Structure 1
Amino acid sequence: MMKGKMFEIKRNLYVNCGALVLIILLATCVAKPTIEPEENKSEINGDEFKDNIITDDNTEFLKSYAAKMLSYMNLTVSPCDDFYEYACGNWKLVKPERQSQHKRSNLLDIVYTLLDKTEELLLSNSTLAKDLGYAHELRIAQQFYNACLSAELYPMPAADPAYLALIRSIGGFPAVDGDAWQASNFSWFNMSSHLTNYRAAGLINEHILPQYPFYPDFELPELGFDYIVHSDNIATNDTKGYKLNEKRMRGYLKTYGLSDEQVSDVIAEVFAFWREVLQIGDRFDENQYKCNKLSAKENLDPFPLWESYYDIAWGGVNFEKKTEEHFCEFYYYELDKVCAKHKPAVANYLAMKLLYTMDFKLKSTKFQRDHCMLQVHFSVPYLLDKLYLLKHFTDETKSEIANIIVELRKTFVLLLENANWLDEDTRKEALLKESTTEPRIGSFKNANLTEILIREMNNLTFVPGSYATNNINLKKFHANMKRYNGLHHKEMSNETKPLELLVGMQVNAFYFNLDNSINVMAGILHPPAYHQAWPNSLKFGTIGYLVGHELTHGFDTVGSLFDSTGASRNWWTNKSSEVFADRANCYVNHFNNFTIPEINRNINGNETKDENIADSGGLREAMSAYRSHMKQLQLTNENHFSNVLKNEQMPGMDLSPEQLFYLGFAQLWCAAYEEEHYWEELTSEHTMDKYRVLGAVTNDEDFAKSFNCPSGSPMNPTSTKCRIW
């Protein structure tokens, strides 16, 4: 849950993810990994919450954090008119300045908190790594980090001989090599296959499926650099899409000494190639499923070049189950025709796409530390994760999250028991599935495999004095690690877990259908998602909602296709299934109505359906769990319950506990987008941040009551509210 976009997780048929950020890089080794069972779960009583009495130790922190929350808000807007603007309207004005090539988000900015922890682990004189026997591996990480800090990265030295040598070895750069480049020897498909070895998505957009045997899956290529191109956003040369991509290409080409006229000619040819390729996707609205239907209609054989991809990218690894059903045959047959007409333009584009992948994309030298830390953080996650969990992930935090999960599950059981549209046979299956859901907090434990992955760092080559070479080595290492399970699947059990679950130091949460588990990773347990000193109202509105989101994924339109054992099985009666489909379709229609004015497109309600169901369900479950928890506190603290209620608010904020609950939820998704970021997320299965907030609260009766929103107001429309659970 993954694209080459730092701030997105892709969810496929088997993994439901919480739309967060995945900080992970997989590793390659030849030793046979063994999967150890998860450590025994302890039963934790959901009634064991603290009363959250504010002490002198956390009063100042709460005041400071309340002031931060207030600074995000636009109090000139009524919460009943536009709750997102009310909660987040000023966030883009007060957010810290950091390096990011994609949108900024309050929740995903937790990554910068983790970067600070990473730097501390790298630079401290702690003996922790030495005591664990990882002193050598830590020195390797330090070497790459220090070399990155001292290198001249701004502007990117695109003409470094190491980059040009690599480009020439995989297909060539006709803009630079001129007549020495031979079109007759060029294969666009082979060059694209080589690019995947460096995590560059040229004309092959590879993703690794997170279940055994971990073979690759494919999506339609996204063309462009800083701005993903569509037919309408590069229709003329004065669009932002045209200008940003033109600027990026011009920057690379000028470093090779090309004249302005030569540069302009190369860029014009690339845009001509893009426009013709985009016409292919326009024939089926760039929807891969429609493309597959078109392939079947025309009775197309598998595109013949895929064996070359497996040879180049996977070293000829033979998967017992080939993946032809994932290929959009029609698209690749048509793409092959277009590429044959534009060979020099294709080669130039792919060469620059590789440079773009190697590029640090710094906006200023002051962001170099951010980039260098991100690079190390992504590249060697297993070592840093082990150190981080030992040093920063406490039993106390784990216990409180476990209690919150228990409360959410109690609520979800009640929802299943009281869903009058479920017949008894289906309800029985649903309750069985819920009862067998396994919670994991922090990360999945597999000590043997983690050890292997850490030791694989010893195969990472550091070259003094050539940061470009080190950069190339890291990118290739990254690609091999990402493919690790697939490359070694014959050595593994078919029960092997995806490596995404092993790294706790990531801002993420997952529901994993194949073992019916929810996974709350340690890295997400920082503000604005969680802090131990917060009142329960804020905790339930943030981490409680996120847990509820993952629980609901087990019962969305994909999760509902898997039973309590993680097997793909239809356990629904026809009657309940029909009602479920009608209720799910309500979300499709509801979100289809949201227009993104910045790009004049609508949210795709069908593509985002399951995430919207999970958002709505998670928010309802978290509020019900919070209310249930407060009733428990009232019974056990009847004489002092007024003090308990006071401690459910934040100092200096004129909000009731339930209003604070909803504010905490909304402020997870405070975000700042540039125009190009809307295109970047347009085809995502996650609704853009603003509309996931608005979509959830406009379907929530409790929200309307908490803020006294009159019927018919924008946040409390009179139309029927969508609800499954």
Structure 2
Amino acid sequence: MVCILLKLLIFGVNLLPTFNFASTISLKDNEQSLDLQMVSKLLNETIDESIDPCQDFYQFACGTWLERNYEESKSSDLRMIHQPIKLIRQTFFDQFITGKKVLKSNILRQMKYFHRLCVTKYTQEYSYKFAIGHCERKFPTIFDEALYYIMFHQTFNDKKLRNIKLKVTNMIDNIKYSFKKLINEKEWIDKKTKHYAFKKLNSMRSLFYDMKNYTLKEMETLYEHLKFTNENTFEEAKKSLKTFDILLTKKKKLLNKLSLISLFQPNAVYKLTENKISYNLGIFMKPYFDEKLPMSFNYGGLGYIIGHEITHGFDDDGSQYNENGKKFNWWSDEEKKIFQEKSNLFIEQYNKNVEKVSGYNVNGTLTLSENIADNGGINAAFNGYKKYLNELGRDEQKIPGYEKYSNEQLFFIAYSQLYCSSFTFVSTHYLMMNDPHSPDRFRVLTTLGNQKSFSDAFQCKVGSKMNPKYKVVIWKTGK
């Protein structure tokens, strides 16, 4: 757990807090391990430069990715943010199941043996290539915990996690600082309420998961009673797995901690009753964050997520809780009225968005909290990134083949690519009825349309689709 302790000057002429930033990471260290060719390849596989970014930034940022994945998207839901999970699974099979990478592990031996039984069965009717692919796709989920334990220790180590925590902590510092500036500039919030807001923000904790809580020895213990014999047929092995699944479920409950299957999902959660943000391991992988990515991408990805979760502490729900996660009314009646009026403007704005596949309008009331967090989060992250650049004292390195894009433009491209996605009609229908998030397309178009920093970066004319004259403001630059 990392607690961000920032000094705060509450009363006096200036309500804006002062800070001691004591990051142990040199700003220049962030550029020593950059892989600019990797970034160039990423942009080449995602953006569509035939599209005017001031007319449809979603299509500009995701157009090539959508085209490349068009056939697969006809039958399945796809999101760019889930590609690292697919890569981790594929790497596991390529290295440990069909490859020659060695790991002293009983459960890995059982997994390899089950896979061989599966391949042997299906090569009786189909080609070897088909059998390999089929057995990977249909690999029993009961093995997932072991798969992720193994790949967790292949992907991360103590040193890498320490470096990630240091870099992310510095990002949190900068984004918190920028969010404090957003609060301080709001003329409709009085000094007393700002005091409570600063107090809550300063007390907001960040939780990172530790490697020592997930050991390979523990993983072996989970699966110690699973053993196949040389006499087992494929059908007998499958039957054994069903029996063992009950025991495994009980063992996992006894561990009383989040499974690595869940931890690898790219997610972060703000818990309003604890005033705490928990970060899953998957959020520290591309496209959210990578030590080889420029900080424009890291702030546009993970930085936005940090800002988004911080903003949840001050959205229509979070604003009802204090720094200890207790329900507390720290707003004046007039401030609550203004906050509600601004919230209603968000509802009206998002209600006008029509999702093309289903034909439904976005439910601005259902999605209000997430829309507030999207708008406040991207603004706090952008200002946090500008603070980083100011401390760096220069621009970041240019991307080969994409030198024309500024740091600020790359920030917004990175943000938008978190939402490159395609869903089937059935999934789209369900999401429109139940998901508290707006459709991915509008998380880009409407959110960025509200950001003056975006239209300035791409020099979009006032009145263009990405720079409407009217912008909705709560937790972003503007009074």
Coarse TM-score class (shorter-chain normalised): 0.7 to 0.9
Contact 1:516 1:566 in 2 (8 A): yes
Aligned mates of 1:445, 1:110 — CA distance in 2: 20
Aligned position for 2:464: 713
1:469 equivalenced with 2:469 (yes/no): no
Aligned mates of 1:686, 1:718 — CA distance in 2: 25
Taking structure 1 as the reference length, what is the TM-score of the superposition? Answer: 0.55
1:414 equivalenced with 2:189 (yes/no): no
One-letter amino acid of the structure 1 residue matched with residue 440 of structure 2 = D
Aligned mates of 1:474, 1:507 — CA distance in 2: 29
| TM-aligned CA distance change 1:406 to 1:145, over 3 Å | farther
1:668 equivalenced with 2:418 (yes/no): yes
Deviates more, 1:373-382 or 1:578-587: 373-382
Aligned position for 2:346: 587
| TM-aligned CA distance change 1:91 to 1:716, over 3 Å | same
1:704 equivalenced with 2:458 (yes/no): no
One-letter amino acid of the structure 1 residue matched with residue 58 of structure 2 = Y
Aligned mates of 1:597, 1:54 — CA distance in 2: 41
Contact 1:121 1:388 in 2 (8 A): no
Aligned mates of 2:392, 2:119 — CA distance in 1: 52
CA shift digits 1:611-640 (9 cap, x unpaired): 222111111011101111111222xxxxxx
Q: 1:712 is paired with a residue of what secondary structure?
A: coil
Alignment of 1:184-195 (within 5 A): none
One-letter amino acid of the structure 1 residue matched with residue 442 of structure 2 = Y
Aligned position for 1:69: 43
One-letter amino acid of the structure 1 residue matched with residue 399 of structure 2 = M
Q: CA deviation at 1:456?
A: 3.6
Alignment of 1:145-156 (within 5 A): 147=117, 152=122
Aligned mates of 1:369, 1:99 — CA distance in 2: 22
| TM-aligned CA distance change 1:122 to 1:557, over 3 Å | farther
Aligned mates of 2:226, 2:332 — CA distance in 1: 54
Q: CA deviation at 1:88?
A: 0.8
Q: 2:415 is paired with a residue of what secondary structure?
A: helix
Contact 1:148 1:372 in 2 (8 A): no
Aligned mates of 1:704, 1:66 — CA distance in 2: 24
Contact 1:413 1:431 in 2 (8 A): yes
One-letter amino acid of the structure 1 residue matched with residue 177 of structure 2 = K
1:552 equivalenced with 2:311 (yes/no): yes
Contact 2:61 2:413 in 1 (8 A): yes
Aligned mates of 1:116, 1:674 — CA distance in 2: 24
Alignment of 1:191-590 (within 5 A): 367-368=133-134, 370-372=136-138, 375=141, 378-380=144-146, 383-384=149-150, 387-388=153-154, 391=157, 393-441=160-208, 443=209, 447=213, 455-458=221-224, 464=232, 465-466=234-235, 468-469=238-239, 472-473=242-243, 484=253, 499=258, 504-590=263-349
Alignment of 1:51-130 (within 5 A): 51=28, 58=34, 61-95=35-69, 102-119=76-93, 122-123=96-97, 125-127=101-103, 130=104
Q: 1:579 is paired with a residue of what secondary structure?
A: helix
Q: CA deviation at 1:94?
A: 2.3
Q: CA deviation at 1:595?
A: 0.7
| TM-aligned CA distance change 1:549 to 1:117, over 3 Å | farther
Task: Select which of 651, 668, 678 maps to 2:400.
Answer: 651
Aligned mates of 1:578, 1:605 — CA distance in 2: 19
Aligned position for 1:267: none
Tell me the C-alpha RMSD between the 2 structures.
Answer: 3.8
CA shift digits 1:473-516 (9 cap, x unpaired): 5775787688x38xx9xxxxxxx8x7369964332222223322
Aligned mates of 2:37, 2:287 — CA distance in 1: 15
| TM-aligned CA distance change 1:500 to 1:426, over 3 Å | farther
Q: CA deviation at 1:125?
A: 4.8
Q: 2:471 is paired with a residue of what secondary structure?
A: coil
One-letter amino acid of the structure 2 residue matched with residue 517 of structure 1 = K
Contact 2:183 2:194 in 1 (8 A): yes
Aligned position for 1:601: 360
| TM-aligned CA distance change 1:390 to 1:47, over 3 Å | closer
Aligned mates of 1:151, 1:566 — CA distance in 2: 56
Identity %: 22
| TM-aligned CA distance change 1:101 to 1:76, over 3 Å | closer
- Alignment length, in residue pairs? 449
| TM-aligned CA distance change 1:614 to 1:470, over 3 Å | farther
One-letter amino acid of the structure 2 residue matched with residue 534 of structure 1 = L
Q: CA deviation at 1:531?
A: 2.2
CA shift digits 1:183-222 (9 cap, x unpaired): xxxxxxxxxxxxxxxxxxxxxxxxxxxxxxxxxxxxxxxx
CA shift digits 1:439-496 (9 cap, x unpaired): 123x2678499987863434668694325535645775787688x38xx9xxxxxxx8
Contact 2:107 2:220 in 1 (8 A): yes
Aligned mates of 1:46, 1:476 — CA distance in 2: 47
Taking structure 2 as the reference length, what is the TM-score of the superposition? Answer: 0.80
One-letter amino acid of the structure 2 residue matched with residue 88 of structure 1 = C
Consecutive unaligned residues in structure 1, runs of 5 or more = 1-37, 156-363, 489-495, 635-640
Aligned mates of 1:93, 1:104 — CA distance in 2: 12
Q: CA deviation at 1:122?
A: 4.6
Contact 2:149 2:214 in 1 (8 A): no
| TM-aligned CA distance change 1:84 to 1:377, over 3 Å | farther
Consecutive unaligned residues in structure 2, runs of 5 or more = 7-20
Contact 1:77 1:86 in 2 (8 A): yes
| TM-aligned CA distance change 1:501 to 1:375, over 3 Å | closer
Aligned position for 2:427: 677
Aligned mates of 2:140, 2:345 — CA distance in 1: 40
Q: CA deviation at 1:422?
A: 2.0
Larger Rg belongs to: 1
